[in-house]
Amino acid sequence: MNRICELLGIRLPIVQGGMVWCSGWRLASAVSEAGGLGLLGAGSMHPETLKEHIEKCQAATTKPFGVNVPLLYPQIDELMKLIVDSGVKIVFTSAGNPKTWTSFLKEHGITVVHVVSSAKFAAKCEAAGVDAVVAEGFEAGGHNGREETTTLCLIPSVRKATSLPLIAAGGIGTGAGILAAMQLGAEGVQIGTRFAFSQESSASEAFKDLCAGLQEGDTMLSLKKLSPTRLIKNAFFQAVDEAENRGASADELRKLLGRGRAKKGMFEGDLENGELEIGQIASLFDHIQPVADIMRELEDGYRAALTRCRSGELDW
């Protein structure tokens, strides 16, 4: 039995990453219905919006789903109370200290998974009593670790640092990629990018079309003096890049970033002035697909990859 499937009550150890402006109830419930774990991305929702999405998700699926909460969320107390009151059973926390909320959530019977980008923080998660960790590498879209450790290097390192169930994230989008991660010590994967431009994603169609057309090298880790974020290289990215190259301060970058840029880009479809978060693996996929097709391709691809390992083709 796979520990991630057991812990989360799912058939396939595939978690859809909680993503700002992409992962509302449509996406999360579709992934859960297909046998994975859907996550609502609370980071881009006001508490009342999250409440609505939780209720719609509960109506759309009887299968387990969860909520991703960036711990820097401004009204975090209100949000956590709402999550408990709404009967959510699984919470993925990120961007903060797992000590702060884990015991509160667990006292309310909620399974807690925390996202890390280093083995050191994975060990801290274990001490904080979380149930599992997501280890996310440099190639992932959006917010990212400061050490820039890639998934290929991070997974075996986190595997050595903790005995917790381990979910790999960053750069994974195919069945072969899932098997690669499992081989390196993961017991499940979190996939964001491929779902960000699925049919059920709540992102704007313009953003999804852009993602489906990306080539290798079209994203870059940016905003390193604020919070490192992987972005598509659009006009906003170029402005940040130019500022960073001439040594702009964090304050200057904060002003340049302003407020609401991710919404402007990903939700409203302003492809030049918006902040467009997506992972490197986007370049491997060239069209918008329904979640059911993605999940079937992942499952079939995983089985095909295992079969290839068994066939003798990789022996030497």
- Interface with a copy of itself (CB under 8 A): 2, 5, 11-13, 118-120, 137-139, 146-154, 156-157, 160, 170-172, 174, 176-177, 179-185, 216-217, 220-221, 225, 245-248, 280-281, 283-284, 305-306, 308-310, 314-316
d(CA 102, CA 248): 37
d(CA 14, CA 113): 14
Identity of the residue, 69 or 122, whose beta carbon is nearer to a copy of itself in the bound complex: 122
Q: Considering the complex, what minimum distance in angstroms separates the CB of residue 52 from a copy of itself?
A: 33
Token readout for 295 is 């999940």
Q: Considering the complex, what minimum distance in angstroms separates the CB of residue 146 from a copy of itself?
A: 8
Q: Which residues contact 307 (CB under 8 A, 6 or more apart)?
A: none
Q: Considering the complex, what minimum distance in angstroms separates the CB of residue 169 from a copy of itself?
A: 11
d(CA 129, CA 98): 8
Identity of the residue, 80 or 119, whose beta carbon is nearer to a copy of itself in the bound complex: 119
d(CA 238, CA 305): 39
CB 231 within 8 A of CB 219: yes
Identity of the residue, 246 or 259, whose beta carbon is nearer to a copy of itself in the bound complex: 246
Q: Which helix (H) or strand (E) holds 209?
A: helix 205-212
Q: Considering the complex, what minimum distance in angstroms separates the CB of residue 298 from a copy of itself?
A: 12
Under DSSP, the state recorded for 17 is: P
Identity of the residue, 73 or 121, whose beta carbon is nearer to a copy of itself in the bound complex: 121
Q: Considering the complex, what minimum distance in angstroms separates the CB of residue 252 from a copy of itself?
A: 11
Identity of the residue, 86 or 157, whose beta carbon is nearer to a copy of itself in the bound complex: 157
